[in-house]
Copies of this chain bind each other. A is one copy, B any other.
Amino acid sequence: MTTDTQTLKQEFIEGLSGISAFWGFPKGMGALFAVLYLSPDPLPLDELVEQSGLTKGAVSTNVRALARIGLVHRSTRLGDRKDYYEAETNFYKSVRSILKERQNTEFDRAVASVKETLSKLEAGAGSSDPAEQAFLLERVRALQSFFDALDSLFSAISRLDSLGFGTIQTVLNILK
């Protein structure tokens, strides 16, 4: 006895909901993306309400958030007042826009504050004891360069689609 399409979809939706929650997004966003991703055609809001089990308000909010980060696209049809949504299928593109989105939030502010600490230290601030000063400088520098390395890698990820999978394989082989 094999699983039917409906059940299969439901499991997939729950899976993406969990992944969404894990990355700090509302579960609803994952669910809505899943619904759209499994649909060959763009879907209107009321269809999303039906298939996701969320209310109109929740769908409206979440689908708009998805559009902001580029994971779904909104479209309209002539002589039809409804909005239609469809899933973006180029994930690398989405990652890029998600990272870009997040760059202007608290994360960037926090990372910037570490960088600022470093600048102040390099400018001679905090000099109570030379040994302590040197120690602090070394530690904060090390952290900063780690952040820089991470940053390079993340931006590399967002460029992966234009590079193609051949390049990815090459890179992974080097790293192996």
Contacts and interface: CB of A to CB of B under 8 A. Distances in A.
B168 A8 contact: no
Interface string A69-112: 00000000000000000000101100000000000011101110
Contact of A110 (B15, B140, B153, B172): B15
B106 A18 contact: yes
Given A113-B15, A175-B167, A22 B160 contact: no
A175 B107 CA distance: 24
Contacts of A22: 105-107, 110
A32 interface: no
Contact of A136 (B38, B142, B170): B38
A172 B156 contact: yes
Interface in A139-168: 139-140, 142-143, 146, 149-150, 152-153, 156-157, 159-160, 163, 165, 167-168
Interface stretch (A45-53, A56-64, A121-129): A121-129
Contact of A168 (B12, B105, B149): B149
Contacts of A40: 132, 135
Contact of A91 (B110, B140, B143, B157): B143
Contact of A2 (B5, B106, B124, B174): B124
A154 B35 CA distance: 27
By Cβ-Cβ distance, the 3 closest A-B pairs, closest first, are A18-B110, A15-B113, A5-B126
